[in-house]
Structure 1
Amino acid sequence: MTAQTTVSMLAGSYSSVQLILSVFLVSVKRRSWSWQQFLNQQQAEAAPVALFTQSQSFPSRRSAFKVGMKLEGVDPLHPSMICVLTVAEAIGIRLRLHIDGYSECYDFWVNADSAEIRPAGWCKDNNHKLHPPKGHSETDFDWTDYLRSSGSQAAPPTLFTCRTAVSVRPSSCGFRVGMKLEAVDRKNPGLVCVASVTDVIDDHFLVHFDNWDDTYDYWCDNSSPYIHPVGWCEEQGRPLTAPQGHPNPENFLWEEYLQETGSTAAPTSAFKLRAPHGFQVNQKLEAVDRRNPMLIRVATVTDTEDYRVKIHYDGWSQQFDVWCDSDLSDLHPVGWCQRTGHPLEPPPGSSPLPSPSQGVCPTAGCRGVGHIKGAKYTGHHRSVRRGAQASPRCPGLSVSVDPNTDGHRVSPPTVQTLGQETPAFKAAVLCSDVWCHHITEEIIRTYISIFCQIIFIFAESSESSLQAALHQSVFLSAMSAQPGRDLSLCWEQHRKLLPGVVGETAETVQHWSVQQVANFVETLPGCEEQSKLFRDEQIDGRAFLLLTQQDIVRILSIKLGPALKIYNSILMFKHAKDRNEDVFEGRTVRRRRRTAELSQ
Structure 2
Amino acid sequence: EHDARELEWEKERMKQEKEKQRRKRLRQEKSEGQEEADANMSDAEESAGGSDNDSVSSKTTDAHVPKYHYPWQDGKNNFSWTKYLEYCGRSKGLAKAAPLKLWTEPFPFARNLFRPGMKLEAIDPCHQALFCVVTVSETVGFRLRLHFDGYSDQHDFWINADSWNLFPVGWCEKNGRQLEPPLGVIGFSWKAYLEHCKGQAAPRQAFVNKGHTTVIPPNNFRVGMKLEAEDRKNMWVCVASVADVLDNRVLIHFDGWDKAYDVWSEVSSPYIHPIGWCAANNVVLHPPNDYPNPESFNWHEYLQETNSMAVPARAFKTRPSREFKVNMKLEAVDKRNPALIRVATVTEVQDYQIKLHFDGWGEEFDYWVDDDSPDLHPPSWCSKTGHRLQTPLTPEEIAEYVELGISCGTSGCKGLGHVRGPIYTSHHTAYGCPYAIQNINKDPESFIPDRLHIPSERKKSKATPKIKLDLRQNVEPKDSLNEVDECEGQKKRVRKRRKFFDELSPPEPNRSHKVPKMSIDDTKSQGTLNHLVQSPGLMDIPPVSSIPASSTSSSLASPNPTVSQASQPQEEPLEQGVDMIVHQSVFNPGYNPHPVAPLPHSWERHRHLTAPLGDAKKADVETWNAEQVHQMVSRIPGCEQVASVFTHEQIDGEALLMMTQNDLVSLLHIKLGPAIKIMAVIMCLKSSV
TM-score (norm 2): 0.53
- 1:191-241 per-residue CA deviation (whole Å, 9 max, x = no partner) reads 110001111111111111111123322111111000000111111121110
Shift of 1:357: 4.3
User: Given the alignment, which residue of 176, 188, 200 partners 1:153?
Assistant: 200
Q: How does 1:186-335 map to 2 (within 5 A)?
A: 186-189=232-235, 191-335=236-380
- The one-letter code of the counterpart of 1:144 is K
TM-aligned CA distance change 1:340 to 1:250, over 3 Å:
same
- Separation in structure 2 between the aligned mates of residue 105 and residue 174 of structure 1, nearest angstrom: 39
- 1:4-49 per-residue CA deviation (whole Å, 9 max, x = no partner) reads xxxxxxxxx9x99899467514698883432222111111110111
The answer (yes or no) to whether the contact 1:67–1:88 under 8 Å persists in 2 is yes
- Separation in structure 1 between the aligned mates of residue 314 and residue 109 of structure 2, nearest angstrom: 32
Shift of 1:305: 1.2
Q: Give the match's secondary structure for 1:514.
A: coil
- Separation in structure 2 between the aligned mates of residue 235 and residue 373 of structure 1, nearest angstrom: 44
User: Given the alignment, which residue of 364, 375, 382 partners 2:411?
Assistant: 364
Provide the identity percentage. Answer: 46
User: Given the alignment, which residue of 74, 77, 99 partners 1:48?
Assistant: 99
Matched, 1:401 2:443: yes
Q: How does 1:501-580 map to 2 (within 5 A)?
A: 513-515=457-459
Match in the other structure for 2:123: 74
Matched, 1:133 2:182: yes
- 1:575-599 per-residue CA deviation (whole Å, 9 max, x = no partner) reads xxxxxxxxxxxxxxxxxxxxxxxxx
Match in the other structure for 1:102: 151
The answer (yes or no) to whether the contact 1:379–1:395 under 8 Å persists in 2 is no
TM-aligned CA distance change 1:308 to 1:129, over 3 Å:
same
Unaligned runs of 5+ in 2: 1-52, 90-94, 461-512, 517-528, 534-689
Match in the other structure for 2:23: none
Match in the other structure for 1:444: none
| Structure number with larger C-alpha Rg | 2
The answer (yes or no) to whether the contact 1:46–1:283 under 8 Å persists in 2 is yes
The answer (yes or no) to whether the contact 1:46–1:334 under 8 Å persists in 2 is yes
TM-aligned CA distance change 1:301 to 1:398, over 3 Å:
closer
Q: How does 1:177-188 map to 2 (within 5 A)?
A: 177-188=223-234
The answer (yes or no) to whether the contact 1:293–1:379 under 8 Å persists in 2 is no
User: Given the alignment, which residue of 93, 113, 126 partners 1:64?
Assistant: 113
Q: How many residues matched?
A: 398
Shift of 1:365: 2.8
Match in the other structure for 1:121: 170
The answer (yes or no) to whether the contact 1:70–1:120 under 8 Å persists in 2 is yes
The answer (yes or no) to whether the contact 1:204–1:221 under 8 Å persists in 2 is yes
- Separation in structure 1 between the aligned mates of residue 152 and residue 353 of structure 2, nearest angstrom: 33
Matched, 1:24 2:75: no
- Separation in structure 1 between the aligned mates of residue 214 and residue 404 of structure 2, nearest angstrom: 55
Unaligned runs of 5+ in 1: 1-12, 382-388, 405-431, 435-509, 517-534, 539-553, 559-600
Shift of 1:169: 2.1
- The one-letter code of the counterpart of 1:173 is N
Q: Give the match's secondary structure for 2:323.
A: coil
Match in the other structure for 2:391: 346
Shift of 1:299: 0.2
The answer (yes or no) to whether the contact 2:102–2:323 under 8 Å persists in 1 is yes
Shift of 1:347: 1.3
- 1:154-203 per-residue CA deviation (whole Å, 9 max, x = no partner) reads 00111102336654222x332111111000101012x1100011111111
TM-score (norm 1): 0.60
- 1:532-563 per-residue CA deviation (whole Å, 9 max, x = no partner) reads xxx9998xxxxxxxxxxxxxxx97799xxxxx
The answer (yes or no) to whether the contact 1:105–1:376 under 8 Å persists in 2 is yes
- Separation in structure 1 between the aligned mates of residue 183 and residue 532 of structure 2, nearest angstrom: 18
TM-aligned CA distance change 1:163 to 1:27, over 3 Å:
farther
- Separation in structure 1 between the aligned mates of residue 378 and residue 268 of structure 2, nearest angstrom: 22
Match in the other structure for 1:498: none
- The one-letter code of the counterpart of 1:342 is H
Instruction: Single out whichever of 294-303 and 21-30 deviates more from structure 2.
Output: 21-30
RMSD: 3.7
Q: Give the match's secondary structure for 1:258.
A: helix
- Separation in structure 2 between the aligned mates of residue 135 and residue 65 of structure 1, nearest angstrom: 26
- The one-letter code of the counterpart of 2:458 is V
